[in-house]
Amino acid sequence: MVEGERPRKLLRLVQEGWLETLRDELRPDEVLDPEERSGRYGRSGDTLLHHAARYGHRDILTYLVEVLGMDVEVFNRDYKRPLHEAASMGHEECVSYLLERGASVDCLKKADWTPLMMACTRRNLEVIKALVEHGANPLLKNKDGWNCFHIASREGHPEVLQYLLAVSPSSWDTESMIKRTPLHTAAMHGCFDVVELLLERCQYKPDSRDKCGVTPFMDAIQNGHVNIARLLLEKHQACPTAVDALGAQPLHRAAVTAQDEAIQFLVTELGVDVNARVTALQLTALHYAAKEGHVHTIQTLLALGADVQAKDGKNRSALHAACAGQQAAAARILLRAGLKDAPDDTGTLARQLVKKPDLIQVFQEMNIST
């Protein structure tokens, strides 16, 4: 790694785009010594070429490559090339220049990301077009099994997706290493326009499941995107009571993430049973909300008719779940909702789980010994 005042000055000039000053600093009769020519900056080991590409200084790129002879394929410690930098920051002129100078269009950085994948994290369609027109392969996948279509779906760029479908019609038909589709990802991240496009243009199966059994509808619900959940119901025949690998419904997953609006939608509009149980564990949504300490969600569930006395497969109520999670506020609500007068075996087991002082205080307030 380069050290000293001169290398730091060179780096600052490159980052700020001061080409004339950089030329003065590196006089025509002066040659960079080997340390400066291959100088590495910061923990990632970036070169001056990386910084010029990252900041979008085409003129400095030209100077570094054509006058100082720096290699367009130089890579840092993460194997990131200048082309990755320019593509990820949306600098079309720098991308085009590097490609014209022979930069490998599908070079891989750490985790097998290509410049095209990096470009798809932004809306700059011109950069994406430049890469594709120079031969970038839209079907390549990174180590997680994501191709560029999957990445654009996460970012919410319908115009990028439309272009990718035009140049690579099969790019939609992809799954990650854990069997998640672009539809899963768009639903999870609340990209309504993208979900709408995917349902119109692509042939995803209704309620397709990832390795954990999660459907796009579940992703939408557990992240609070009710508008997307409605869209999946109307245009993709999603099932609001489908279960994941553990037997949990969207209702249970919404309780874990405290998505009260989604819970209201499921129960009041779709008629989902508020006391539905997870197949494997016999837990209710109230158990999950209590364990996580989601006070408002507990109140929402109780208002919708959740059974405060419901037991799981090990004869534990939501109060047990709250106590096991040391959730004092949740325990207080449940005790006030009717568990104070629960049978002795219920109260005894719950009291055995109490450890935190504020939770002990809750039981004392209710005149329950711990």
What is the rounded CA–CA span in Å between residue 82 and residue 75?
7
Domains of the chain: 1-106 (1.25.40.20), 138-239 (1.25.40.20), 247-370 (1.25.40.20)
91: enclosing H helix or E strand:
none
CB atoms within 10 A of CB 103: 22
| Cβ neighbours for 56, distance < 8 A, ≥ 6 positions apart | 86, 89, 91, 93, 94
Confidence of residue 367 (pLDDT cuts 50, 70, 90): low
What is the rounded CA–CA span in Å between residue 349 and residue 344?
8
Q: Which of 264-268, 304-308, 328-332 has the lowest mean pLDDT?
A: 328-332
pLDDT at 134: 98
Task: Say whether pLDDT at 79 is over 60.
Answer: yes
pLDDT at 14: 95
Diameter of the chain measured on Cα atoms:
92
Confidence of residue 73 (pLDDT cuts 50, 70, 90): very high
Task: Say whether pLDDT at 293 is over 70.
Answer: yes
Quick one: average pLDDT of 135-159?
97
Confidence of residue 179 (pLDDT cuts 50, 70, 90): very high
Cα end-to-end distance, the chain, whole Å: 61
Quick one: average pLDDT of 319-344?
80
Q: Which of 143, 160, 225 is nearest to 192 (CA)?
A: 225
- Kindly list the distances between the CA atom of residue 150 and the CA atoms of 118, 171, 203, 226, in Å, as whole numbers in the listed order: 12, 9, 15, 22
Q: Burial of 88 by CB count in 10 Å (0-12 exposed, 13-18 middle, 19+ buried)? A: buried
Q: Which of 173-177, 336-340, 345-349 has the lowest mean pLDDT?
A: 345-349
Task: Say whether pLDDT at 127 is over 70.
Answer: yes
pLDDT at 343: 45
Quick one: average pLDDT of 115-132?
97
pLDDT at 30: 58
Per-residue pLDDT tens for 186-235? 999 999 999 999 999 999 999 999 999 999 999 999 999 999 999 999 99
Q: Which of 44, 33, 36, 29 is nearest to 7 (CA)?
A: 36
Phi, psi of 220 (to 5 degrees): -65, -45
228: enclosing H helix or E strand:
helix 226-236
Task: Say whether pLDDT at 71 is over 50.
Answer: yes
Quick one: average pLDDT of 327-348?
71
Q: Which of 275, 276, 278, 222 is nearest to 247 (CA)?
A: 278
Task: Say whether pLDDT at 291 is over 50.
Answer: yes
- Mean residue pLDDT across the chain: 91
Q: Which of 229, 238, 314 is nearest to 278 (CA)?
A: 314
Among 35-39, 127-131, 324-328, top mean pLDDT goes to: 127-131
Task: Say whether pLDDT at 185 is over 50.
Answer: yes
Among 259-263, 320-324, 342-346, top mean pLDDT goes to: 259-263
Q: Which of 3-12, 235-244, 349-358 has the lowest mean pLDDT?
A: 349-358
- Kindly list the distances between the CA atom of residue 104 and the CA atoms of 48, 80, 115, in Å, as whole numbers in the listed order: 19, 12, 9
What is the rounded CA–CA span in Å between residue 159 and residue 165?
10
Q: DSSP states of 303-333 as a string?
A: HTT--TT---TTS--HHHHHHHTT-HHHHHH
Task: Say whether pLDDT at 258 is over 90.
Answer: yes
Quick one: average pLDDT of 162-167?
98
Confidence of residue 78 (pLDDT cuts 50, 70, 90): very high
Per-residue pLDDT tens for 28-39? 555 555 555 567
Confidence of residue 353 (pLDDT cuts 50, 70, 90): low
